[in-house]
Amino acid sequence: MTMYDFTAPAAPVVPTRGRLRPLGVSEVRITGGFWGDRQAVNGTATLDHIESRLESEGWLPNFDLAAAGTLPAGRRGREFADSEVYKYLEALAWEIGRTDAAADAALEQRFRSVVARVAAAQEADGYVNTMFGRPGQGDRWSDLEWGHELYCLGHLFQAAVARHRTRPDADDGLVTIARRAADLVCRVFGPDGRDAICGHAEVEVGLAELGRALGEQRYIDQAALFVERHGHGSLAEIEWGQEYFQDDVPVRDAVALRGHSVRANYLASGATDVAIELSDDGLLDALRGQWDRTVERRTYVTGGQGSHHQDEAFGADWELPSDRAYSETCAGVGSIMFSWRLLLATGDTRHADLIERTLFNVVATSPAPDGRAFYYANTLHQRVPGVEADPEGTSPRASSSLRAPWFEVSCCPPNVARTFASLAAYVATADDDGVQVHQYAPASVRTTLPDDRAVSFDVVTGYPVDGGIRVTIAEDAEFTLTLRVPSWAEGATVRVDAGGESAQHPAEPGTIEIRRAFRAGDVVELTLPLVARVSSADPRVDAVRGTVVVERGPEVLALESIDFGADVVDAVVAGAPVEHDGSVRLPVRNRTSGQVTDAVLVPYHDWAHRGPSTMRVWIPTS
């Protein structure tokens, strides 16, 4: 693996070695299009909405009560409520870095105000948590199975990393808060301390990245200790087994992700960080194998993961029921975290393919168009029309209904917010000789290679509506431009217009590399064949045998009762999909009446935007 010696980019993940290095939010700017629109809504609506609910639900005031010494009286929210405040801070930090706080002083002031409330609640030895440690509360670290103390700190560490990388000279104190808490964790749980793990993985990934950001190897070593302690049964047995906590099999011995889907992905992400930083090729190979099997056998066509409602968990191989799909939004975020780390380590474009699928069909599906309501779980077959959520209410977390403004367990809204705010950092990477574009959006890319070559280009595209991706070179430079060709894009082409000449070539799925001495104004245009295609599942997936799904580019399409004119339980495919007037239409027969409807299919991420409906992704063929 390549070792890097550079100023860390403003990105969530910055390994010190690997096949590729990330480009941060100051090097890549998303300038519009599908993802630009979502970033805009996130910045103008979602962040305000989250802060408002953190206040009204009492989760931010919990820190004020801690500072005043009045807890536990008046504390509200679940044991992990602190973590939502930290995810919100992380989202704010990325948004400040993305937009430049100088252009929005109010955003900076909001950030500092929340940090001050957290700082006031931190105890002298670095401990910070509103649920434990005071008279009338449980002792510190007394409920590692369910207490989430270390989990909350992991999110604190990630928020501090975001702040440190976007505003390294900031004096708000968040990095100091995180450092003091991390030092405490190392004292309590270090090699000479308590041999234990948290029931919800997250501290591993938080410690590893904080160690990278601050140059503290002991934080990375502590993350490694936690990773290696998993799988030895230190947590209590529960009804779903110790695999729920990933405490049944050591990480390096597991063959697939299992148990609680968010916990599993967070642990795999932290383990990948540890493997990279400690040059542990055996551990990295094990994680790559787990990713392979999980994607092949335990992942929905949407990229969603987790087929069990009761324990929010992965099922067995091929256990992927559509109507019982849990596919938690946070599991999608965790899957992206894991895949991105493997992409940086190996350069394998399959990881970027899964990131794209998950972004479009899980993360983009969760928020409503106004950014103020969300899906927690993402079913692939809605059998009963949903019920409008109370806009002022708080919903059960996994109600398979319409998007809700807030949940009793509201991990998903701030997880979506931090992902959208930092999304530019997942668009492109660099190596010693060029830049690789992995995700497609209108964007401006400005970076410098290790030998001081400046690389500048702009991307213009209507993706995913159309498949033209036009890259225009902004500055003379000799480098290699690498573009990802998705696995579904058979028949893609690339055209290079440079030096008064034009040449077109086929672009096979994987990557296409163009190396030349580019001149300002040169154009490279990748054309991806965005046409509706019909896919079948592996026959070992019992739940969808005899059905098909229609996809177009990275988007999975869905049939809603609004467009079918009847409950989709009666839908049977009666022909091939056809594109007409900007929409995909599918002839669908009503099994009961025999009538055939030329039904419009909607992108899955847009389902239920028009109100209650029944919906399905996999449609029977007979």
pLDDT for the residue 115: 98
Residue of 97, 34, 12, 31 lying closest to 364 (CA atoms)? 34
Same structural domain, 396 and 514: no
Q: Does residue 123 lie in a domain region?
A: yes
Across the chain, mean pLDDT equals 96
Residue 127 counted as domain residue: yes
| CATH number for 302 | 1.50.10
pLDDT tens per residue, range 312-334: 999 999 999 999 999 999 999 99
pLDDT in tens, 490-543: 999 999 999 888 999 999 999 999 999 999 999 999 999 999 999 999 999 999
Which residues have a Cβ under 8 Å from the Cβ of 371 and sit 6 or more positions away? Answer: 41, 42, 44, 45, 46, 49
Residues 519, 588, single domain; the answer is: no
| Residue 22 is assigned to a structural domain of this protein | no
Asked if 608 contacts 402 with a C-beta cutoff of 8 angstroms, the reply is yes
In 3D space, the residue among 168, 355, 334, 164 whose CA is nearest the CA of residue 246 turns out to be: 334
Domain-embedded: residue 11: no
Which residues, at least 6 apart from 95, have a Cβ–Cβ distance to it below 8 Å? 42, 43, 47, 107, 421
pLDDT at 121 over 90: yes
Residue 470 sits in a domain of what CATH number? 2.60.40.1180
Beta strands 477-485 and 434-437 are parallel
DSSP lists the bridge partners of residue 550 as 534
379 and 338 assigned to the same domain: yes
Last residue of a domain, one of 403, 426, 449: 426
456 - beta bridge partners? 446
Q: What is the pTM of this model?
A: 0.97
Question: What 3-state DSSP class applies to 514?
Answer: strand
Is 122 or 390 the better-scoring residue by pLDDT? 122
pLDDT tens digits for range 439-450: 999 999 999 999
User: Which DSSP string do the residues of 123-153 spell out, in sequence order?
Assistant: -TTS---SSBSSTTSBPTTS-TTT--HHHHH
Instruction: Decide if 213 is inside a domain.
Output: yes
CA atoms within 13 A on the CB side of 180: 15
Same domain, 469 and 548: no
Q: Are residues 329 and 466 in the same domain?
A: no
Residue that is last in its domain, among 387, 410, 426: 426
Whether the predicted pLDDT of 101 surpasses 90: no
Q: Does 362 share its domain with 439?
A: no
Average pLDDT of 454-483? 98
Instruction: Return the structure tokens found at 55.
Output: 């206040």
**If DSSP codes are grouped into helix, strand and coil, which group holds residue 179?**
helix
DSSP 390: P
271's torsion region: left (phi>0), alpha (psi -120 to 50) or beta? alpha
616 in a structural domain: yes
Q: Are residues 217 and 350 in the same domain?
A: yes
- The structural domain count of the chain equals 3
Note whether residue 433 is domain-resident: yes
Same-domain pairing of 46 and 98: yes
Host domain of residue 143: 32-236+245-426
Judgement on whether residues 521 and 540 belong to the same structural domain of the protein: no
Q: Is the dihedral of CA 226, 291, 12, 130 positive or negative?
A: negative
pLDDT band at 612 (very low <50, low <70, confident <90, very high): very high
Asked if pLDDT for residue 581 goes beyond 90, the answer is no
Instruction: Tell me: do 441 and 403 sit in the same domain.
Output: no
Give the single-character DSSP code of 613: -
pLDDT-derived band of residue 389, with 50, 70 and 90 as boundaries? confident
Write down which residue in 386, 406, 426 finishes a domain.
426
pLDDT tens for 182-203 read 999 999 999 999 999 999 999 9
59 with 149, same domain? yes
Instruction: Say if residue 121 is in the same domain as residue 152.
Output: yes
Query: Please, what is the end-to-end C-alpha distance for the chain in angstroms?
Result: 51
**CB within 8 Å of 22: residues ≥ 6 apart:** 9, 11, 13, 14, 344, 425, 426, 429
Confidence of residue 392 (pLDDT cuts 50, 70, 90): confident
Asked if the structure places residue 493 within a domain, the reply is: yes
